[in-house]
Structure 1
């Protein structure tokens, strides 16, 4: 970890280490939460927060869900108070009336979460708490506002200014490497030897974002292959018998796997910062790198084809490429954005839909989700902002001539 990360971590964790809760307060956990929000003494507040977190962690799922429901309903905003405060501000705009309005608009449960976070190590525990909320309350509309409160606060606590980019290599601590294996979500890491092949050779890199309050937990990581030319097969990239090349000889950086690590941080975007930061760092380190591109899965393609009742011969590589290009350029979700979540992510970052490949992932997972098709998203560092603006404002998908040709071939077949 860098010196800066060490310093930040120390600042985040210097929080009255001797103020642990007694664990002997017999009141129900929701009463403790009410007491915490109303506490005026810092020591008593820290003790209450510690007691609540400790008690929560040993509760059953049913009790956790009940606690979430109590917090969501019992610490909600009061609409009449909000309307009254807004009327007062409209009638007489001032610092005082504006403060009264903003205070009325903020539910007390946000203050509860803030005060819980005063305990050393609480941020990671609150991330796990939100993971429970997402898991247990997915079908409970009354809990959605509570989730928005968590998300609102996490967006501030985990903003880019606090994130620390760290390289992950074969010399990284074993507990970090174990988490890379566990959190890999795109191409499973089957063994320590498999991990070594991804981290140790000179033409392989891995980078992760960490937060100072969670220094032992990666938030998101990206695996990178340094290559000659643009890769069109993940099996070739990960082959056991491939011959590594010298990093200085590479002209292309291929981002072939991006994995979010914390379920409790769902919806908090890190990937766009990560790719751009890694691309900038690699460009500064290796002057020969001219191309920055992904080799990405197409996870919802088969589902969409089934949903649309489209005939598809997976044994026909050219037909698969044409269908994939059609799907990536024409299949839309609500709001006019691409149906495919990976496409939305990279195109929203300002990438270009560069190339489509058949038989690029012949694993069972790859065959199941897209018939083995994969796609390259090109990150042209000079055009990222322009492409991002066109995508966000006009839902325009930046594509290469090659992808355009495939998409037109699909349109011709349909006609």
Structure 2
């Protein structure tokens, strides 16, 4: 049995360790450079690896190939593997058969990290022996190799779901769907939607699908396609016999003839989108039979997620907010929607085919000035140049924050919510968010 791992990042190295432990002959190949810390792990475990190349002779003789989520299907080596009928799967698909743990899989265009962290917080606070993996922290495969959890909360991207054949979560969540990563889906929105719904394709009548019943892409798919899972909807506008909703500032979650209620103002997270994340995570807690008092307490003390509407500092009565994780228009829509003060908005980066029109009414209502932070800001300037009074460009975070400060007065807010990827000026969204926080602290 020969396991070839393409990509030596967190998921790749974790898979290599698990594969070796389960008796596979393992080979790791990365077309780029491998981080020193990962090289050390591979070497310490006597796992053969290569970087900056793919040696076909060592790859095309695989029994199974685990492809890291960042590698597109259209890469030459992947096409050759598929043509030869060698299964190319994701880390989740590879690792799942090696654990008896219950898995809770969470996907969506936005909100999945917050929902994942909150669900994990709810289960962990109740004393469950629970792991956290997927797109977050230590890889699922690595934890299956080294830890012994009874359940896992997994944040799953569409790329991870593309590589599943038999995997099914016992509880699946789709937080929402909006156009994102379309460059990986032949620019067809329906392909991306289908990819998200792979999370439920192997589920049975014993399993659950929790979903946003206000989301047109989700509800249309469910009207036209079948899943065997038991459906648990959540909504800000509708009410259900079975499901979660908000009415008169009370969040109600009704599952298995048992109702849980909490006043929305006692929930630590703020904003309409976060009420949805709270309903989804609370539905998980109810299905996992967590006590109501524990759920209430956990919802009121949850700290939120770094780089997602994170309050950094208040300086001269101006609140600085880091929402660097907003890498698409839909995420920025939620951020602007939750702003209650006149806002100086820092926006820009690598555009993934954004349509800024859907932000227009919010920008008119909430934004007093825009600071463009990117190498190419033309599209943003064309979209909002006539809508806001002040629009300026910056090409370092330091400058962007200083310019934003000059444009504020008491009671305003400065919001970094880029609506774009970060790769033009930063390593990733975390680097962008950390530079923002540093720049704010230096004011």
TM-score, normalised via structure 1 length: 0.27
Q: From the two aligned structures, give the one with the greater helix fraction.
A: 1
Higher gyration radius (CA)? 1
Q: Give TM-score, length-normalised by structure 2.
A: 0.26
